[in-house]
Amino acid sequence: MGRSAPRRSRARLAAMVAAVLGVVLLVRGVVVEPREVASESMEPTLYPGSVVLVDKLGPRLGEVHREDVVVFTSPQDGRDSVKRVVAVAGQHVAIRDAELYVDGEHVDEPQVDHSRIDGLYFGPVTVPDGAVFVLGDARSGSIDSRVYGAVPLGAIHGRVAMVW
């Protein structure tokens, strides 16, 4: 009789550990996930080696907005990429002398170092339904929607919610 109490305690502990592990895996798979930034394309907002916490729930509910920094599967090479959404479905995007214009209006981008970009022109293009247009903050060295086009909403894994 004295041995059954320690067995029950071990069984309860094992069940609790399994439950906690299950919750952690569920949360990571569905709600939030840490990711490491691999490229320089989002400097100075994000640097290589930065760890970001990715909110996976919002984009699944269709909540992707201009200015969101998102993680998605790159249409160019199938790898995960991190970029800023600069336009959503139906909007017109153009870059004139390194300055971003959405629907004909100049967009102030304090995170972009325009002194490092010379004579960049692009567009105008219209973002198709079910997609977003993404650009890197380090505009001159970023491979983004200017190269591979708009990113389908289904390719977006999540939105960067926190950086550390």
56 is catalytic: no
pLDDT, tens only, 87-113: 999 999 999 988 999 999 999 999 888
41 is catalytic: yes
Q: Is the pTM of this model over 0.85?
A: no
CB 70 within 8 A of CB 159: yes
Catalytic residue among 39, 81, 83, 145: 83
Catalytic residue among 39, 41, 81, 142: 41
CB 121 within 8 A of CB 149: no
pLDDT, tens only, 55-92: 887 655 567 889 999 989 888 888 888 999 999 999 99
| Structural domains of the chain ordered from first start | 32-163 (2.10.109.10)
